[in-house]
Structure 1
Amino acid sequence: SICLFYSPSLSDSPFYVLIETSGSNSTHDEEKLNNFLEQAMTSGLVTDGTVATDDKKIKMLWSLRERITEALTHDGYVYKYDISLPVGKLYDLVTDTRARLGPSAKNVVGYGHLGDGNLHLNITSESYSHSLLDAIEPFVYEWTARHNGSISAEHGLGFKKKQFIQYSKPSEAVFLMQRFKAMLDPKGILNPYKTLPSSS
């Protein structure tokens, strides 16, 4: 897996990429990883890096990525968006949202999964603000639709986004999904209220 994360607290570089691989020959795999890192650093694309082969160091590196969510909660209220975008546009939404919101947001942070273009967009403020939410939505959904993305990615539509599905799917596709849902789950007991807008 390839994971991108932005960390203002690690100020040496604006971006950090975490790449995890698996193979059948650890000696051969480690040699390939070291060669890859050396080439990336020689090219100037990467300024620093490390290869972790023992479990303790691997867990320590992953904890840097996994604790971003926890760290953001210390900022105050967090507005969270889980979307997918073409990889070339992945971080543009972060910079455009940051420019749009200006000082009304404490932080605008993006991290996610490069391989599938999954972006976790997080916006923080001291406390919940309806006016800030109005500046975020539907801007984030419109921007995503304009760049051929999807408003739901890794975590699905959930409770909050089902009414915004039209930004990602045409009405015909939503209708077809509703028909499949009704056919496979006629009593609506599988993950209730979390999948699609109501068909009425």
Structure 2
Amino acid sequence: MLKRLLATTILAAAAIALTIPNTALARGAGNGFFIPSFAAGSGEIEFDDWEDPEDIDTETFSFGYVLDTTPLGGRVFNYRLNVGLAAQSVDSKDSGDFMDTSGLYLDNTFGFGLVRNDNIRWWLGPLVRGGFYAGSDEVNGEDVNWFHFEFGVGLATGLNIRAGNAIISPSLGLRRSGFVGSADFDDSTDDDYSFYTDEFFVNFAVMF
């Protein structure tokens, strides 16, 4: 069930990303890919059946598709969409690695150009992020299936630099994400959980 839902959602998101209206592209939008994107941070996780929350460290690796409506030029505003496939690791500071998942996310960044010309653009703006993740692990000798949703907000900044017929675009930022999900144990019991993370991230994109 979860694998079918994951596959369906990935295909739907890819179709949306690849059918951006021609009017947006005609105005000089840039399309391309980002690889790699890395994020690391910390937070806190809590299960319904636990007495106390636990501190966690997180890492996320991802790659995917990028669209920027104003990669270069004099316009002030740009919208940037990242559609990514991600691998997420959550480590308990008390018990070590216990949750490894993979999933799909969409980053929506609303940028404002601080430096704007035909060769370079330095932008800064807020972002809104949504995604979902699923995975399986063994915890204390018991198989567990994880599934959780993400909603996050943050701030990003980056440079778009003309390089011949391409545009290279390194960026970085900070975000806070909240997650809610459910753990399915092999003894047929379920336990709902939630956690948050504060992460620093870096991204490198190439657009055409």
| TM over 0.5, shorter chain | no
TM category (shorter chain) comes to under 0.3
Q: Could you tell me the TM-score, scaled by structure 2's length?
A: 0.21
> Which structure has greater helix proportion?
1
TM-score normalised to structure 1 length: 0.22
Going by fraction, where is strand more abundant, 1 or 2?
2
